[in-house]
Structure 1
Amino acid sequence: MTAAYWYLDFAERQARGVSPTYERLARAVAGDDELLALLDTVPEPKRQPNLLFAVVQWLAGPVGDYGRFRAFVVSQWARVAAELRVRATQTNEIGRSALLLPVLAALPQPLALIEVGASAGLNLYPDRYSYRYGDVMLGSSGPQLDCAATGLTPPAALPEVVWRAGIDLNPLDITSPADRGWLEALIWPEHDHRRDRLRQAAAIAAADPPRLVRGDLVDELPALVAEAPADATRVVFHTSVLYQVPDPHRRAFIALTASLPVCWVAVEDPDIIEYADLPAPPGDGRHKNVLSLDGKPLAWTEGHGRSMSWFGA
């Protein structure tokens, strides 16, 4: 995939109607040969729109006007490229907990949660947030996560979580101002509600910091599963993570989940995890991920957890 195509696809299928600022930036970058040439000097996974825009925000650069944005990137390219090389899109979007909740609540309780690609671990607290699916409300504390769900009977209660841990190549410390600043830089400009939710979730996690293991998802997962209490349902989950994992290693991870005594819950792009007999997505032309349990697809989902279209049993 060329960088130009990546930015146009991002503008059309992810930012359109969701972030006018990022849609304008992405379309302009896609037609800017000089910026595209600069992006070609960093490894391909580091060229993605979300990462570039977040790095510019992290460096206190402008994103509201393309001319100023472009001038900043060109003049500060050494700093921008250095940050692109060492950072990742560890968005830790807690809205995705609303996508996971129907599956987690339906599993035998209590649960031991293991998140792969956990970032700061904020999605390890689905039992401490509040949710609204249409007219149905669950929970009474923490940030409220709204999800427009079709075809879904919302759960009647929150899951019971008795143990939680995560794995990440570069786990973020939710008590660190610098790490929290990077998480805020990853939030799109117009999304003040996401920034408010992040801060509320960060306060919950900081009061009871999650166990986060630094390392590779394949190497570290077996020991962490063995450590989890055997009298709980052990759940391995991840959301929009595997696209950052090289294909052979991704396949090794998927095979590993099938060999362990766990339930495997994924929210990923269907180009990343292939599913047989997948129904057509909702016809709005926007990018959709698939929610699945143990490799069985259940729903089409929006990337930040705003909506889901349930089709599974």
Structure 2
Amino acid sequence: MSTTDIYRAFAEREARGVSPAYERLSRAVARDRKLLALLDTLPPAKRQPNLLFGVVRLGGGPVDDPAAFRAYVLAHWPDVAAQMRVRATQTNEAGRCAVLLPVLAALPQPLALLEVGASAGLCLYPDRYAYRYGDRRVGDGEPVLDCDLTGAEPPQRLPEVVWRAGLDVNPLDVTDPADLAWLDALIWPEHRHRRDRLRAAAAVAAADPPLLVRGDLVDDLPALAEQAPPGATLVVFHSSVLYQVPPPRREAFTALVRTLTGRWLANEDPSVLPHAALPKPPGDGFHNVLALDGHPLAWTRGHGQAITWLPTPT
């Protein structure tokens, strides 16, 4: 896919109806030959919109006006390019726990959670947050995660988590102001509620830090999985992570995770982690597929704001 197509697709599939500012920027970049030429000097994995926009926001650049954004990027391109080369989109959206919770709560308890691509580990605390599915509230913690649920009843309980660990090529520390600033920069400009959520979830993680291991999702996963306590259901999970992994490595991971003793919970773009014979997603906009042990269960929105269960096979 060309860089032009990447930015057009981001505007249509992800930003439209969710972030007017990023939709405008994406469309402007997609037709700007000078910006596209600069982006094409970067490795393919480093050209993505979220990374560019996050780096500009981190540097204090404007993202509400395409002309001002363009001027900033052109004037600061060496610094922007350097940051894009060393950073990755580590959006640590705690809201995604709302779409993971129904599966986690239904598994044999207690759980040992191991997140691949954990960033700062904020999705390792599904038992500490509270949830609101319509008029049904589950839990009494903070933050409160709102989720529109269709096709099933809300979970009746929170999971019992006795061990939590994360694996990431570059783990982030929510007690480090620089790492927290990067997580904030990755949140889309209009999403004040997600910024409030980030700080509430970061306080949970800071009070009881998870085990975060710097490592590769294939080479280092088995050793970390072996640290899970006996008697707990090991759940290896990931959410909007595999698109950053080259296809051969992605295939190696999915082959490996099936061999581990435990359950595999994935929440990924179906173009990245395909499933056969999926029905159409509910409406427009970007959707992930929630799958357990390779079996698709539901469509989910990218930040955990909605989950639509697939029909039960007859």
In the TM superposition, 1:1-313 aligns within 5 A as 1-282=1-282, 284-311=283-310, 313=312
Shift of 1:285: 2.5
Output the TM-score relative to the length of structure 2: 0.98
Which stretch shows the higher mean deviation, 273-282 or 117-126?
Answer: 273-282
Corresponding residue SS for 1:23: helix
Shift of 1:152: 1.8
Measured against aligned partners, the alpha-carbon deviations of 1:85-107 in whole angstroms (never above 9, x if no partner) come to 01011000011000100000000
Distance in 2, Cα, partners of 1:102 & 1:206: 25
Measured against aligned partners, the alpha-carbon deviations of 1:185-223 in whole angstroms (never above 9, x if no partner) come to 000000000000000000010011111000101111111
Measured against aligned partners, the alpha-carbon deviations of 1:257-302 in whole angstroms (never above 9, x if no partner) come to 11110100000011111112212211x2212110000000000111
1:117–1:166 Cα contact (<8 Å) kept: yes
Segments of 5+ residues of structure 2 without an aligned counterpart are none
Corresponding residue SS for 2:258: helix
What letter matches 2:309 in structure 1? W
Distance in 2, Cα, partners of 1:297 & 1:277: 10
Shift of 1:312: 5.1
How many residues were matched structurally? 312
Shift of 1:136: 1.1
Corresponding residue SS for 1:251: helix
Shift of 1:240: 0.3
What letter matches 1:299 in structure 2? A
Distance in 2, Cα, partners of 1:68 & 1:280: 38
Corresponding residue SS for 1:259: coil
Corresponding residue SS for 2:226: helix
What letter matches 1:223 in structure 2? A
Root mean square deviation, CA, Å: 0.8
Distance in 2, Cα, partners of 1:57 & 1:95: 21
Identity of aligned residues (%): 66
Which stretch shows the higher mean deviation, 143-152 or 273-282?
Answer: 273-282
Corresponding residue SS for 1:101: helix
Measured against aligned partners, the alpha-carbon deviations of 1:222-253 in whole angstroms (never above 9, x if no partner) come to 11111101200000000000011111111111
1:174–1:209 Cα contact (<8 Å) kept: no
Segments of 5+ residues of structure 1 without an aligned counterpart are none
Which stretches of structure 1, 4 residues or more, deviate above 3 A after TM superposition?
none
Shift of 1:67: 1.1
What letter matches 1:138 in structure 2? V
Corresponding residue SS for 2:256: helix
